[in-house]
Chain A
Amino acid sequence: MTTTAPPGPASATTRPRASTPRRLRAPAAFLLGAVLLLGAAPLALPDSRLNLLAKYLCYAIVAVGVSLAWGRGGLLVLGQGVFFGLGGYAMAMHLKLADAATAGERLPDFMLLYGSSDTLPWWWQPFADPAFALAMTVLLPMTVAGLLGFLVFRRRVKGAYFAILSQALAAALSIWLVGQQATTGGTNGLTGIQGFFGYDLADPVNQRMVYFVIAVALLLLMAAARQLFVSRYGELLVAVRDSEERVRFLGYDPANVKLVAYVVAAGMAGLAGALFVPAVGIISPALIGIVPSIGFVIGAAVGGRASLVGAVLGAVAVAWAQSTLSDAFPAAWTYLQGLLFVLVVGFLPGGLASLGALRRTRRRAPASVRAAAPTTSAVATASTKETA
């Protein structure tokens, strides 16, 4: 993977590739991805398939953030569903209000159905403004993540403790949403979204447009994440993951380094949630609770948590397998999912993306380096320096 080996001094030990110059490999891969997503897929796939792909690409956007926070930062983010949900609900609230306005109603349909009052709750009102709603899809998740991250990292709550807290957050939000049926739609969530900023979502042409928006967003975020990976911040993040105390003694504050990764990952999940709503037409507590939150991590784990491309492909592949196999063989799929998870995370912590890197490392590095988890070339070089 081009993204796993940062350039600069650390890459001095990595093997130079003869065929393509190193600095051209990432742009070439990016171009290839763009051609596939924006050119080949819309031409080759029928509308229904393309719509499914749009949904998987939303999960892939979350995986970009997971790859940053977990793969590079070592923060096991088990509550990405919260941020996905906040973004999704912010978008859905605006679209519901817009739908209601088009239909000439004062309230969204579900509120007329089981709402007790006939006025819009105060916290719904600003979402009628499209600019505010769009900003909130990213700012709201980032604020929540910033608050939790600040409080938790500042007090050096880490590792499993952080994972459990973030998971509890996912549980709490979905339970809270279910409880507020009159204002959030409860278990059903916000459904039946018809328009997207004036475009009718029932029209296949507009569905294609939504797909393009999502694909472009994914490509841009991947490019941004890659720049973050290879920046000095990216190296610092990996250093915090591998030896937090050492980074602290060098004069950095690991809490801030982790906070940035967590907040950026939350923003990406929020954006993914916001784009998920027009593509699928629903956001509900079942899509953001504990199980889907772990699902966001699974995709990245299977593909390769520390590898951007691996995480994205893994997320798409797992989502595809989920919807294809779970309909045909529900029981077998659950076993397969569990087994896949056990085997990949347990015995191939770098994910499928590490298969190639693993082979290269084996030829080059001593056994002690190979034992270091997660196996990516970036980590391998880092630990080589450590043992030296």
Chain B
Amino acid sequence: MTVVLNQSFTGVGIGAVLLLVALGLTLTFGQMGVINMAHGEFIMAGAYTAYVLQRSVDGTGLSLLLALPPAFLVAGTIGALLEWLLVRRLYARPLDTLLVTWGVSLMLQQLARDVFGAPNVQTRAPDLLTGNVSVAGVTLAANRLAILGLALLSVLALTLVLRLTPLGRRIRAVVQNRDLAEVSGIATERVDRTTFFIGSGLAGVAGVALTLVGPIGPTMGTNYIVDAFLVVVVGGIGQLKGSVITAFALGVLQSVLEYSTTVSVAKVAVLVAIVAFLQWRPQGLYTLRTRSLA
């Protein structure tokens, strides 16, 4: 019983990381149809922001908390810049966006290598987050718990923004019907840029969280990007709840399979499961109902 609980908590931990990484993608890929391969490098930018801040401010680890807003701003600004320079010119060609942003991600990785050096670096976690918490015989790693909390908080914040603010209303309008939104007087280009800013900023937040569970390196983003894209594909376009459910489901599936087989077999099995799932729901868990054929 404890094994099952332990494994499912590990799965929830993996799911929380996946969710944090995929959250920004849900916005940019799901809502705007833009496939941003440089998303992983925005994660890296957030992580390096935390690293720089910790080196220059203090050594206690509390700076990780302080790093969240700057990481959001740094990654978001890079994202908005990318949107302004390249992505907005390619809205009609989503597949080409994928390749172009991959070129950008190559350059950003090399930039990180030139600035911070090729070897991985590490941040110091706060003492509070280094141990384990035991609840009813189940051992919970504190850093995983913190990531879970941060992920849920981010989902909550994003939901509130989308549901309650004028900006969120405009974003939803553009997602549902871009042409109608435009003739209704919404500056869709400005909304696009803001969406990209928020989505990329969330990648920065994810980057800070990832410093708790792994080293910071120029290629850290690529480890997560494929899994994160799969979350969005399975979750469905433009739906936060789809991504939330999918992230945790994939996380638990992964950890259960890893426990019963090996890490590498689990990866393949998860992919097979995803293809099988798409047979049942080709558009993902939740879809935006439209009358278009596509």
A-side residues, CB < 8 A to B, are 74, 76, 78, 148, 151-152, 155-157, 159-161, 163-165, 167-169, 171-173, 175-180, 245, 290, 294, 297-298, 301, 331, 334-335, 337-342, 345-346, 349, 373
Contacts and interface: CB of A to CB of B under 8 A. Distances in A.
Interface of B: 29, 33, 35, 86, 89-90, 92-96, 98-100, 102-107, 109-110, 113-114, 222, 226, 229-230, 233, 262-265, 267-268, 271, 274-275, 278-279, 282, 293-294
Contact of A171 (B92, B99, B107, B267): B267
Contact of A163 (B95, B107, B267, B282): B95
Nearest to B284: A161
Given A151-B275, A169-B271, A179-B265, A159 B90 contact: no
A335 B112 CA distance: 12
A338 B82 CA distance: 14
Contacts, number: 123
* Most A Cβ at <10 Å: residue of B89, B98, B222, B278: B98
Given A160-B94, A335-B107, A168 B226 contact: yes
B94 A346 contact: no
Nearest to B94: A160
A331 to B, nearest CB: 6
A99 to B, nearest CB: 26
Given A157-B282, A290-B222, A337-B103, A172 B271 contact: yes
B8 to A, nearest CB: 23
Given A164-B229, A164-B230, A152 B264 contact: no
Majority secondary structure, B binding face: helix
Contacts of A345: 96, 99-100, 103
Contacts of A342: 86, 100, 103-104, 107
B5 to A, nearest CB: 26
Given A338-B104, A338-B107, A346 B233 contact: no
User: Which 5 residue pairs spanning A and B have beta carbons closest together?
Assistant: A179-B264, A341-B103, A338-B107, A338-B106, A155-B282
A31 B98 CA distance: 37
B29 A341 contact: no
Contacts of B106: 334-335, 337-338, 341
Contacts of A339: 103, 107
A239 B293 CA distance: 17
B267 A160 contact: no
B286 to A, nearest CB: 15
Contacts of B110: 331, 334-335, 338
A160 B110 CA distance: 26
Contacts of A163: 35, 95, 98
Contact of B226 (A171, A173, A349): A171
A148 B113 CA distance: 37
Contacts of A175: 263-264, 267-268
Contacts of A331: 110, 113-114
A152 B275 contact: yes
A171 B99 CA distance: 17
B93 A373 contact: yes
Given A157-B282, A334-B110, A342-B104, 20 more contacts: A151-B278, A152-B278, A159-B94, A160-B29, A160-B35, A164-B35, A167-B229, A168-B226, A168-B271, A175-B263, A177-B264, A178-B264, A179-B265, A331-B114, A341-B106, A342-B103, A345-B103, A346-B96, A349-B96, A373-B93
